[in-house]
Amino acid sequence: MDRESTSKKELEESQEIRFDGKVAVVTGAGGGLGRVYALELAKRGAKLVVNDLGGARDGSGPGSQAPADKVVEEIRALGGEALASYDTVSTPQGGEAIVRKALGVFGRVDILINNAGILRDKTLVNMEPGGWSAVLEVHLNGAYNVTRPAFAQMREQGYGRIIMTTSSAGLYGNFGQANYAAAKMALVGFMNALKLEGAKYNVLVNAVAPMAATRLTQDVLPAELFQRLNPEFVAPLVVYLCSEKCKETGRIYNAGAGYFNRVALLTGEGMLLGEGLRPPSAEEVSQHWEAINAMEGAREFPNAASSMEPMIRALAKAQRGK
């Protein structure tokens, strides 16, 4: 091997992302994306709690231990350490049990990937309350139920990495998925609050909108696209976000087919009507509708308080103009 090749190999080894000594909890890890996340983290040295209820795609049925057990066997065959959890994420008791298992066996929790999910797609007028609440219970409440005890442990440790699984359905909308879209966008709000609560404890929280071929997407994606979207093409981004190398928090990313990009919530400059001294009329809003909708110079804001800056600046400018 020549000197250049040796140097390149040494550089790659020095930059390798490892998770030795770290403990990861992955929900919905019995198949699809969750399985791939768990296997990749284990290959890189992490100890895993593989959580999966083993239910049907719509969350029905009695559940099965087989999916989680199979992934645990795969990890152990690779020489890794893993244990299975069959608890549901949809109850506080289930979430506590998942984290308690990690602490009881491995003594800590460093990484949490909230991946568990179900689908019950229907247009709104055909969606019964049970179909609405079932999806929110798993995606949104499930993330809360597991994150709360895990976050407490991470805060105590002074270290943690949490991944929320959002979706293009929530970020952009998708026909017939009002329940799923609402849950997935709510997770962005959850992340935005936790990024602030976790910042001083080195607990970083990010969201990923994966586009992958799994049992949840097999009826949603076109067949030709489905074949190209293996979960393995999403995992590299998630692995990076779970690592010590990652310093970002409160970010949203799309991931699919090896293509990654960041998603951001932007606020336009807008305009002040009535100089802040009198309530403007609806007619004034109509008259200035184009300016209100303009996105030139739109910006991101790190928190709710800072998002008031354009309004405060406009009020101050109006006051100076008197």
Residues taking part in catalysis:
180
Residues in the chain: 322
Cα 223 to the center of its chain, rounded Å: 26
Backbone phi, psi, residue 100, to 5°: -60, -35
243 and 226 in contact (C-beta within 8 Å)?
A: no
User: In 3-state terms, what secondary structure has residue 228?
Assistant: coil
Q: How far apart are CA 210 and CA 28, in angstroms?
A: 14
Q: Residue holding tokens 């309530």?
A: 279
Q: How far apart are CA 145 and CA 130, in angstroms?
A: 20
94 and 87 in contact (C-beta within 8 Å)?
A: yes
Q: How far apart are CA 241 and CA 190, in angstroms?
A: 17
